[in-house]
Structure 1
Amino acid sequence: MTINRLLAGSTYTEKERKSLNWAYRLTLESLGLVERGDPLCEFIARKVIEVRARGVTNASAISRLAIKELKLN
């Protein structure tokens, strides 16, 4: 999965990685996309990680903010 590749070597805990994975899946689902490892999925994964890095910890909130900031919905 794209987000796992981007998280490799990061300092996030296992719990935080699971939350990020969930946020990523929610975001893709909300946008009607399927994880294919393509440039769009990578762009979305990077945005999800960026939102989390700003201190947002709830997966649903991360997803909502990522979608809002991507202006894709």
Structure 2
Amino acid sequence: MNLVKEFATEWGLDNQLLTKLLKSYDLKKPEEIPFREDLVKTLETTKATSELSGSKLKLNMELNKVLPNWMQEVKMKYK
């Protein structure tokens, strides 16, 4: 999925883990993100293309805001 790769690149995340996370995500539990802690551990500010890429804390905080909505949108799109 190109959307997964684009999101992973934007946020400096592991593409394979994000794909695994998306497959495990349950639309019935939108706030429960499987493997979230593991995903955050892969966050690399030097690889992120987001405007927040210089600060791991800011990048992590913003990711936690956008990830649930992104997961829901992508999962619904490819349902």
More helix by share: 1
Q: TM-score, normalised by structure 1?
A: 0.31
Structure with the larger RCO, 1 or 2 (CA within 8 Å, 6+ apart): 1
Q: TM-score, normalised by structure 2?
A: 0.30
Find the structure with the greater CA-based Rg: 2
